[in-house]
Amino acid sequence: MIQSLSPEHWEDYELIDCGNFEKLERFGQYITIRPEPQAVWDSSMPMKEWEKIAHVKFSSKSSSSGEWIKLKQMPDRWHIRYKTNHIDIKLRLALTSFKHVGVFPEQAVNWDYAAKAIKAMKIEQPKVLNLFAYTGGASLAAKSAGADVTHVDSIKQVVTWANENQELSGLRDIRWVVEDALKFVKREVKRGKKYNGIILDPPAYGHGPNGEKWKLEDSINEIMKDVAELADDKNFFLILNTYSLGFSSLIVENLIRTSFRTTTNLEIGELYLQATKGTKLPLGVFGKLNY
């Protein structure tokens, strides 16, 4: 069955409105306006109303960068918290030149799934691998739930950012790896390593620290086969998340079914954010496996 999932009950985050290729969001006490290529419909509120309540708006200079225009006084960096029964983490946010602020809020659904899977395992410290791990939301969630976590990303600056989030959250001992994800996974396979949980949130395009090129449709099948080799035989969960226009939930389902021997508890679906004004904003498809 194909599901649709959106995070719930997050005090420090709110999607207020979206449309006209933009979104209006609240992170803690600050409200941002950012580009959103999926929001092809009309917004519920006119832009002048958005700008009345927003603190900052991102203006694109090109397809890959731009600048923030402050409409009200606010800091360039601030903190938010995510707290549930299994997770209690803090994240440092910032106004970057790439329109990002340091968190993908829709991923909170996957953080919850990982934390619950870890708590359910009758293992003292389940080993969890987080690939394409960005600023570490999933790594922190897994660590907060009691896992032994390895965090892999190809960009040193975001791994440093993730380490700051670990300190901010009062956590420690996450293993930080700055490397191309595909290379790291292949090396772990050769070493005979096994993990109880593997999380992947690969970009549509990317580069490794040594210029390695990543293109989702060219490399995802290869890395999924290698990831399957790292899966523990008895206690394991998988989260695969893809945010790429044209990448359907059926593609994700086929990738998992052809890579893993056991797919009994496979869940497939679409992540979205529910706007306060009523619109649902789609933000990628997922596949989850748990045994």
Q: Determine the pLDDT at residue 60.
A: 84
pLDDT of res. 180: 95
Give the pLDDT confidence score for residue 211 in this predicted structure. 79
pLDDT tens for residues 29-87?
999 999 999 999 999 999 999 999 999 999 987 666 789 999 999 999 999 999 999 99
More confident residue, 1 or 259: 259
Whether the per-residue pLDDT at 1 is higher than 70: the answer is no
Q: Which of the pair, 267 or 214, is modelled with greater confidence?
A: 267
Instruction: Express as a percent the part of the chain with pLDDT over 90.
Output: 85
**Would you state the pLDDT for residue 6?**
84
| pTM of the complete model | 0.94
Residue 138: exposed, middle, or buried by beta-carbon count in 10 A (0-12, 13-18, 19+)? buried
Q: Confidence band (pLDDT; 50, 70, 90) for 247? A: confident
pLDDT of residue 64: 64
Position 258 confidence tier, pLDDT thresholds 50, 70, 90: very high
Rounded mean pLDDT of 166-189? 97
What pLDDT, on a 0 to 100 scale, did the predictor assign at position 2?
66
Structure confidence by residue, pLDDT tens digits, 124-165:
999 999 999 999 999 999 999 999 999 999 999 999 999 999
Q: How confident is the model at residue 108 (pLDDT cuts 50, 70, 90)?
A: very high
The C-alpha torsion from 67 through 60 and 272 to 51, rounded to 10°, is: 70
pLDDT tier at 103 (50, 70, 90 boundaries)? very high
Domains of the chain: 104-290 (3.40.50.150)
